[in-house]
Each structure stands twice: as C-alpha cells, then as structure tokens.
Amino acid sequence: MSTAPFAVCTRPSTDGTVECMSDAPVLIVGAGPVGLTGAVLLARHGVPSVVLEARPERVQAGSRAICVQRDVLDVLERAGVGRAVADAGVTWYSGRIFHGEREVVAQTLPEPQPGLFPPFVNTPQNVVERLLEAVVDAEPLIDLRYGSQVVSLAQDDDGVVLGLAGGGSVAGTHCIAADGSRSTVRALLGLPFEGMSFDDRFLITDLRTKLDQPEPERRFWFDPPFNPGRQVLLHPQPDSVWRIDWQVPRDFDLAAETADGRLDARIRAVVGDADYDLLWASSYTFHQRRVPTMHVDRVLLAGDAAHLMSPFGARGMNSGLADVENAAWKLAATRQGWAGPALLPTYDAERGAAAEENLRVTATTMRFLVPADDAQRAHRLATLTAARTDDSAKAAIDSGKFSEPFWYLDSPLTTPAPADALAAFPRGANEPRPPLPGVLCPDVPLPGAARLRDLFGLRFSVLAAAGVAVPPVEATVVRVPDEVATALDLAHDQVAVVRPDGYLAAVVGAEEVGPAVARAAGF
C-alpha cells in the first residue's frame, strides 16, 4: 500500500471544485447498526470514516431485528452502547414451546454472573441505531451523510472511489459494504447472491398491550388452533410492546386483512380481550443466501450485504455486528502498519466460515419450521408428538438455535490446539465450547466489579498468571488471577494470546508467544 498522503475527494463545493483532505477515511456504505458500529469501532482505533446512507433520514418504524446476544452486547459496549442497549431492552430467561395448545418444552436460560451481560436482550433495531447514532454524532472522526446514494465504485492499489447520485465522489483507503440485502456495492462488484427463498411469507407485528405473563418470555407455537398448519412466535419488547410473528400463506395480503378485520382476529387469538395499539405490521419472505467471497480487494462486505438467513435464532444482526468488528480491527491494523500481508484476507476466511455455519443452522431450522415435503412434515409431527411424553425428543424440536459466537479453529491466524483437542471440539449448535485457540475468550468476573474482557486492548493481549516470565512481545501483558488461568485451562507455564476482538489466538508456552502474536497479526 502506498505510504503517500491519499487525497480524499469529498462533497463538491458550490463552485464545482472538490474539497480534499490528506487523512483518508474508510468508506462505509449503509448507516444501519452494522455500518454505524463499524464506524465507531474504527474511530476507537483512531481511524476516520465516511458513512454514506442513501435514505434522506433514518426510518424509525418497526422493531425489525430485536434479539441481541450476550457476546454481541460486548461488541456494542466496545462501540460505547452495550450497557445502554441492555438497559433499554427486555431481558428474558424463559422460553416455552407449544404443539397445538399443549406445552411440550420449557426452557430456562442461566442468569449471568455479577457484572456480565445476560444471554439475550430484546432491544429493537431502531433503538440500537438511535443509541449508536448519538455516539456517531459526537465523534469527530466519523462523517455521517444521509441522502448519499452510491452509484459507482472504482478501486486500485491505493484506494477506493465511490461515485454518488447527483454528481461528486468520495474516496478512501477501503470500503465496508453494510448496505443491506439489496446492496448496491454488492451489485457494483458483480457478486452473485446465491441461495434460496422460502415460498411461505411471515407477518410481523409490533403492538402495545398488557399480557398476562408474570415474567417476560419467548413463546413459540407449532400448529396452534389460531394459525393451523403453521407457526406463531411471541417476543417481549420494552414499554409493554410485544412482537408477534405469524407464518402465513404465500398469497397473504396485509392490506386486505387489515381492511376486513382478519388482522384484528389474528391478534385477538393471541392477546385475548386486552386492549392493544398496533404500532407496525409488515410481511416478509425469508431467504438463505450469501456472496461467494466477503472480501474483494479493498472492499469488505458485512451483514445482510454479504449473507441473508432466516431470523429464527437471531443470527442476522448479531452475525453482522460480529462481521464488522472483525473487519474494523483488521482494517485498523492494516492502515496503521502493525498487520502482516496475510491479515486482511482472513476477513473472508473467518467471517465466510461463520456465514456458512449460520446458514447451515438456519437451514436446518427452516426445514423443521417449513417442511418441504411429506417426509419432512411427518418427521416434524412425529417429533412434536413424541415430545409430549418423551423428554429425549424435546431436544429435536427446532424453533431456532440461538445465535452464538463462531469459532476460528481453522483460521490462518490461529495457532492450533493439539490434534486430540481439535478432534473432540463440539461443533453442534449451541454446545459449550472449551477455551481452545480460535474460540471467543470466556469472560470472568474480577475483583472490584471488573471483568476479564474489560482488560483487552486495541491490539493483542497476553494473559499470564503471576510468576510466568513473558519475553518482550508486541502485545500488552495482562497478569490474571488463578481463577482466570483455571477458566482458560492454562498450564503453569502457558499464556493466552487474545486478539483485539476478544478471540483466543493461541494458548502456548511463554517462550512461544512471539511467533503466536506474529501469526495472529498476519505475518
């Protein structure tokens, strides 16, 4: 990459000339939660960005994505809003699954240790965006521009230039495409978006009402009498708002159902006689798609621009935020000169593998939710029927395997664990992961209301127990108490190398830490 000052062409001035500055930004297309989080994380590393949003202003209607997973709250906390997102939402620990009117599964999620985030918080996407935008507005390294529609893209060895509708262009060193399922950047790159779409549609409503629930909980119905042959999902939101998702036929007409009272009848079947205010209603077709690569030269694709999956299990926004954190630290390292040449290409190696896993899990869920043939329908009915009396059948009911961090065991950046530990690694959805290199570092409460993840910095951290001699290395050495060393399964002479995104890059003897850090940096 050229080390010469990069001329950044920004908005045209009134006389038709172009303003330029010498500190080149990263260009981010899309000001949803993924794009805004990416901008803030880059600013945390001291990297400026220009965020281009085609819409003239933010649209606040509708909950859209609502479930934020525990480890993604940590990503948002590094962007300055994790606690605010958690406080603004509803925490739930209970889930119930019904077949018809009969309960077949009751799930309880474990409550967190003091100081740690809960497993999930239901905070609507529009609230997450509002909190992020407040941080963006206060950050001088971020230039957020509404009404900036990208119409062209050019890149070379020195940077990226995006042309804008109405004239003018903006340039930077790299581009993050976070412009959603109809991504303009993806189209300009000529990338296919292969996969499938489901024939059945889904109706989503937000309504404010008082329901008879002692504690907030997720409820899922298979084949209920009020939606025979299909499913219904109920989720709590803040301020007495509830989200209800119905599977509906492919010819569903929301306007017609609203006009003739059938929508009200649907809602009444769930809420009974309670008064309610309908805040938002929309219908969607769900897709399973991804690009063949998430990294094209100086452009990285993130979130729905790179992959689409069914929302059951909350793997959409959560995986998009994990994408952009992975992108942000690697872009910062590349621009600032502490990355090796192999670092940036690992964005696709790592996040592409994560997209494949999420698509595999959600495809399995959709085969259970929307059976494609008689054999799949018979399997689902047999499973649900057996679960009424057989506890062993309950685990086979799939109403959505909850979002979780992916593991980078096979990443070029990871110093591999021993072969026997890798062979025994549990790869099923939502199984506990041992703290092997490639796994997100476990969080542990520390004395004084702190926690382990609070100690991770902008570069690499080396976790070492007291008394372990660590040779000089391009990383911050963090001395950890015995309980942390135990949680990480560190032998008495071992250290853990932690990446800026909190993932374990290596668990090695202290004398091997230098090569492990170099490998994690892409050298």
pLDDT exceeds 70 at position 4 = no
In this structure, what DSSP letter does residue 260 have?
Answer: H
Burial class (CB in 10 A: 0-12, 13-18, 19+), 332: buried
Question: What is the rounded average pLDDT of the residues 206-225?
Answer: 92
| 453 confidence band (pLDDT: 50, 70, 90) | very high
Q: Which residue has the higher pLDDT, 510 or 7?
A: 510
The CA distance from 143 to 307, in Å, is 26
User: Residue 393 is inside which H or E element, if any?
Assistant: helix 391-394
The structure's pTM equals: 0.93
- Spatial distance between the Cα atoms of 139 and 83, rounded to a whole number of angstroms: 19
Residue type, 102: R
CA atoms of 517 and 522, how far apart (whole Å): 9
Query: 251 CB contacts (<8 Å, ≥6 apart)?
Result: none
Read off the pLDDT of residues 9-67 as tens digits, 9 standing for 90 and up.
333 334 443 333 348 999 999 999 999 999 999 999 999 999 999 999 998 878 889 99
Element housing 72 (H / E): helix 70-78
pLDDT in tens, 91-137: 999 999 999 999 999 999 899 988 889 999 999 999 999 999 999 99
Q: Give the pLDDT confidence score for residue 60 in this predicted structure.
A: 80
Give the count of alpha carbons within 13 A of 504, CB side only.
Answer: 27
Please give the pLDDT value at position 363: 93
Contact in structure between 39 and 289 (CB atoms under 8 Å): no
164 in Cβ contact with 52 (< 8 Å): yes
Longest alpha-carbon distance in the chain: 77
Neighbours of 199 (CB within 10 A): 10
Helix axes 317-336, 346-369, angle to 10 degrees: 180
* Three-point CA angle 378, 379, 382, nearest 5°: 85
Q: Are β-strands 231-237 and 241-248 bridged in parallel, bridged antiparallel, or unpaired?
A: antiparallel
The closest alpha carbon to 37, from 69, 75, 84, belongs to 75
Asked whether the beta carbons of 482 and 464 are under 8 A apart, the reply is no
